[in-house]
Structure 1
Amino acid sequence: IWEHEPLHSRELVKLCEEALDWKRSTTYTVLRKFIDRGLFKNENGIVSSVISRKEFEALQSEQFVEKSFDGSLPAFIAAFTRRKSLSEDEVIQIRQMIEDAAREN
């Protein structure tokens, strides 16, 4: 939806049928769930987002860390790095994010 918005619900049905092999009823069921969660809206058949994809990803990440690691970001990072080594570039990027977040607080 984010990549095609705003779009008519009929267009969404067609896109989901082509990309996901969904039936019309499946598309409308999933759309209703997303609307109920506050992600999208459907006004007069026109579907658009309520929050951006980046906001959605941030919310999903927060919920995952909260549920899976009792809200501990260090515990998540420790678990993640047990199975995957970070590249030097990733380490630099993460350090920069931490420094930026520390300045904001």
Structure 2
Amino acid sequence: MGIKLYDSELKVMEILWKEGELTAGHIAKILKEEIGWNRNTTYTVIKKCIEKGAVERFEPKFRCRALISKKDAQEYETEELIDRMFEGSKKNFFAAMLSENSLTAEELEQLKDMVNQMK
């Protein structure tokens, strides 16, 4: 089972996935520049990520590192979406995505290649 991450927590995780280990202060500085968060907001969200087991905090200087990969988080979110919106059916999920005619010919070819490689 994966870890449910909310949008605010994903903002912290995205920075750690991109940058690797950082101090909480550095994370706060990045999020202030990117989205205007104050230091307390960032520290609160980091604490929530630690409590969920998504982030590890260690010394020196309140360093943080991601304990889950971006791939793991994406897989969990995808499974949750499919369960919630498509009765757990991957077939129904793909049918909905493909029925909208929102894919380009190139994207369709790429999907075909992916499916063929899985065979």
> Which residue does the alignment assign to 2:21?
6
> Which residue does the alignment assign to 2:69?
52
Unaligned runs of 5+ in 1: none
Residue 43 (1) aligns with residue 30 (2): no
- Matched to 1:24, the amino acid is R
- CA gap 1:84/1:46 in 2 versus in 1, 3 angstroms: farther
Give TM-score scaled by structure 2 length: 0.73
CA distance in 2, matches of 1:43, 1:84: 48
- Matched to 1:86, the amino acid is L
> Which residue does the alignment assign to 2:82?
65
Task: Kindly provide the CA deviation profile for residues 31-87 of structure 1, in whole angstroms up to 9, marking residues without a partner as x.
Answer: 122223332211121111112212221221111111211211111122223334322
CA distance in 2, matches of 1:76, 1:35: 32
Identical counterparts, % of pairs: 28
SS of equivalent residue, structure 2 residue 19: coil
Give TM-score scaled by structure 1 length: 0.81
Unaligned runs of 5+ in 2: 1-15
Task: Kindly provide the CA deviation profile for residues 12-45 of structure 1, in whole angstroms up to 9, marking residues without a partner as x.
Answer: 1111111110111211122122223332211121
- CA gap 1:33/1:87 in 2 versus in 1, 3 angstroms: same
Alignment coverage as a number of residue pairs: 102
Of the three residues 74, 94, 97, the one matched with 2:114 is 97
- CA gap 1:36/1:63 in 2 versus in 1, 3 angstroms: farther
